[in-house]
Amino acid sequence: MNIDKLSKKAKWIRSRALEMCINAGKGHLGGAFSCTEILVALYYGGILNISPLSKNNSDRDRLIFSKGHAMLALYVILGDLGFFDAKELEAYGKNGTMLGDHPDHMIPGIEIASGSLGHGLSVACGLALSAKMNNKNFLTVAILGDAECNEGSVWEAATFGCNSKLNNLVAVVDNNRIGATDFTENFSGSMPMENKWQAFGWQTVKIDGHSFRDILSGFERAKQSTDRPTAIIAETIKGKGISFMENKSNWHHGAPKGELAIKARQELADGDKNGN
Amino acid sequence: METKNYTDLRDAFFEELYLLASADSNVVLIYGDQGAQTFKKFQQTIPGQIINGGIAEQNLIGVAAGLALGGKKVFVHAIAPFITLRCYEQIKVDLGLMGLPVTLVGIGAGYSYGDAGPTHHAVQDLSILRAISGMTIFNASDTVSLSRFVKIAYGNIKGPVYIRFDKDSPSQIYTEKESFCAGLAKIRSGKDIIIISTGLMVHRALAVADKLNSLGIDAGVIDVYRIKPLNSVLLAEVLAGCQRIVALEEHSPIGGLGSLISEFICDSGLSTVSLKRIALEDSDCFTYGTREYVHTRIGLDKDTLVARIREWLVL
């Protein structure tokens, strides 16, 4: 897909995620919308070598979605690509749905159960290491939130990934600068995110996380690394795409209702045409 | 199945693991900066299959999960409390929820690291790992059993496994004929009481039973070497006819062997059976000294145990 089509797809993904959220009366739209372009680039922009046909192939690329709460956009993408029947998306939030508020490994296309933060990068390290041990060329990508990086285990994994020279591993930090209740600088300090990863020996690439050109070139650089993993620090806006959610710490979780639901739908309306 | 004669528990485990790893390149040992003699063999002949992951147990478990997802058969080793309590949520989420075949290898059961103090005592690990769904738990009482647990974990079990063993090396209880598939074994028959124990304390149970026998009390001993899943059918069989049971363990009284046997009795409807639970106190041990010394101070030495059991039998 070219960048224009990717942009349309991202808008459509957001509109579908919004409908899931309104339909269910719940969901983490803020974090889903900050990483929407990243996910669209991975799945539609030719970064990840994975499809419903190859979802069990041992050579497939792996996406470890560590910030599991932000799964709404990912669910829409997996349904759209046919990893599972897109009708399942309508059941989100209903009794008996296979789509939980956090993704589990039994959902086609989901690699690991996530939701408890700080787990994904370690598992991604193990997968990337297994690729090296088995002489396989697949890429492992982990998507983390910036507030998730408060977890000490993230830095255990960062140490391990560097020491193991996992150049087949990419950590994308969705740096939307807001946690569940507050701006991260108020509880994590103001040290730039890329400085931390550099200090742990990673190649870092700072990008605009809503620019497809930036995302695609960031992964190009990551794939060229010969001796170390790459952290793509994606500067993003929480709630991107809906004006009253953007960069607001009170839109970590929750569904817009009434006038807000109408306004949100209007702002994403152009995307409600299958995104192609 | 042929097994070498080992005197040291660490050798029994890691030599057997080395043999498996030498034959199967998918076997990987990852450890938290914790040594064993056999590691040199790994490093010299199959260096790609042994990883020092450093003092970072949460990451060790996550990496092990990722390796398992990539088709590896992973063994993760550290001192028992650190590879269980320290990284409990990783065990729950990364291994338990996804049912991944990763084996946790914890050295230092109970008060093995007595002088090291309560930070190093593994006296709650059975409680918490029992609560992980799909977890299999082995507790070794000698080198023969431990060397078999390695093979069982490697070959037969789909989900996560915890193998726990002592730092000290006890004498042998079993012969190599034992398959260790049953989960428990009647080591000695007894009509008056049966002492159920696990790990190192099986040896103490045998010594206590000897003494009780000399005093005219016919005491039997059962080793529950597989804590989970408990073979409750076999346990009911070997306990048939016995009305007095002692559960003896060097572990917290909450959630360990005594709890397990209580649950078994309750769930089996054995309402006429009397159970005496002997475990550690629900407190942390700051008594430093040899294992024997500590046991004497807290009433787990042979003579005190005999007295406690006799007193209970009179009631």
Q: Do B185-314 and B9-165 fall under one CATH topology?
A: yes
Confidence bin at B168 (pLDDT 50/70/90): confident
The per-residue pLDDT for range A265-275, each reduced to its tens digit, is 999 986 555 55
Report yes or no: B64 at the A interface, CB cutoff 8 Å. yes
What CATH number labels B9-165?
Answer: 3.40.50.970
Report yes or no: A247 at the B interface, CB cutoff 8 Å. no
CATH architecture of residue range(s) A3-271: 3-Layer(aba) Sandwich (3.40)
Give residue A95's pLDDT: 97
| Rounded mean pLDDT, B129-148 | 97
pLDDT at B311 over 60: yes
* Cβ-nearest to B69 among A127, A157, A159: A127
pLDDT at B2 over 80: no
Min Cα separation A42/chain B (Å):
20
| Rounded mean pLDDT, B147-164 | 94
CATH 2.40.128.50 for domain B185-314, yes or no, is no
Min Cα separation B97/chain A (Å):
7
The per-residue pLDDT for range B47-86, each reduced to its tens digit, is 999 999 999 999 999 999 999 999 999 999 999 999 999 9
Give residue B315's pLDDT: 65
- State both tokens at B16: 């057997």
Min Cα separation B84/chain A (Å):
15
Residue B155 C-alpha from the chain's centroid: 19
Give residue A167's pLDDT: 98
| Chain A nearest-CA residue for B51 | A164
Report yes or no: A24 at the B interface, CB cutoff 8 Å. no
Q: What is the average pLDDT value for chain B, to the nearest integer?
A: 96
User: Which has the closest alpha carbon to A160: B107, B95, B103, B33?
Assistant: B33
Asked whether the beta carbons of residue A133 and residue B68 sit closer than 8 angstroms, the reply is no
Calpha distance B29→B52 (Å, rounded) = 9
Min Cα separation A23/chain B (Å):
28
Give residue B96's pLDDT: 97
Min Cα separation A274/chain B (Å):
34
List the domain boundaries for chain B.
9-165, 185-314
Report yes or no: A137 at the B interface, CB cutoff 8 Å. no
Upstream peptide bond of B229 is cis (omega within 30 degrees of 0) = yes
- What single-letter DSSP state applies at residue B251? S
User: Which has the closest alpha carbon to A89: A30, A17, A25?
Assistant: A17
Min Cα separation B85/chain A (Å):
15
- State both tokens at A91: 């059941």
Q: Answer whether B91's CB lies under 8 Å from B82's CB.
A: no
Report yes or no: B68 at the A interface, CB cutoff 8 Å. yes
- Chain A residues with CB-CB distance to B48 below 8 A: 133
Give residue B177's pLDDT: 87
Phi, psi of A140, deg, nearest 5: -115, 125
* Cβ-nearest to A126 among B58, B62, B93: B62
Give residue A275's pLDDT: 57
User: Which has the closest alpha carbon to A128: B27, B72, B99, B22?
Assistant: B72
- Chain A residues with CB-CB distance to B94 below 8 A: 112, 119, 122-123
Q: Answer whether A74's CB lies under 8 Å from A108's CB.
A: no
Calpha distance B35→B245 (Å, rounded) = 39
User: Which has the closest alpha carbon to A147: A113, A118, A115, A120?
Assistant: A118
A169-175, strands of its sheet edge to edge: A62-65, A140-145, A169-175, A230-235, A203-208
List the domain boundaries for chain A.
3-271
Calpha distance A81→A75 (Å, rounded) = 10
User: Which has the closest alpha carbon to A233: A155, A146, A153?
Assistant: A146
The per-residue pLDDT for range B281-305, each reduced to its tens digit, is 999 999 999 999 999 999 999 999 9
Report yes or no: A152 at the B interface, CB cutoff 8 Å. yes
The per-residue pLDDT for range A78-92, each reduced to its tens digit, is 999 999 999 999 999
Please report, in tens digits, the pLDDT of each residue of chain A (276 residues total).
899 999 999 999 999 999 999 999 999 999 999 999 999 999 999 999 999 999 999 999 999 999 999 999 999 999 999 999 999 999 999 999 999 999 999 999 999 999 999 999 999 999 999 999 999 999 999 999 999 999 999 999 999 999 999 999 999 999 999 999 999 999 999 999 999 999 999 999 999 999 999 999 999 999 999 999 999 999 999 999 999 999 999 999 999 999 999 999 999 986 555 555
* Cβ-nearest to A122 among B58, B72, B97: B58
Asked whether the beta carbons of residue A159 and residue B59 sit closer than 8 angstroms, the reply is yes
Which helix (H) or strand (E) segment is A126 a member of? Answer: helix A120-133
Transcribe A146-183 into DSSP letters: TGGGGSHHHHHHHHHHHHTT-TTEEEEEEE--B-SSSB
Q: Which residue has the tokens 């993704």?
A: A103
Transcribe B156-203 into DSSP letters: T-SS-EEEEE-SS-PPP---TT----SS-EEEE--SSEEEEE-TTHHH
Report yes or no: B52 at the A interface, CB cutoff 8 Å. no
* Cβ under 8 Å to B: A residues 55-84: 58, 62
- pTM (predicted TM-score): 0.96
Asked whether the beta carbons of residue B63 and residue A133 sit closer than 8 angstroms, the reply is no
Count CB atoms within 10 A of the CB of residue B274: 15
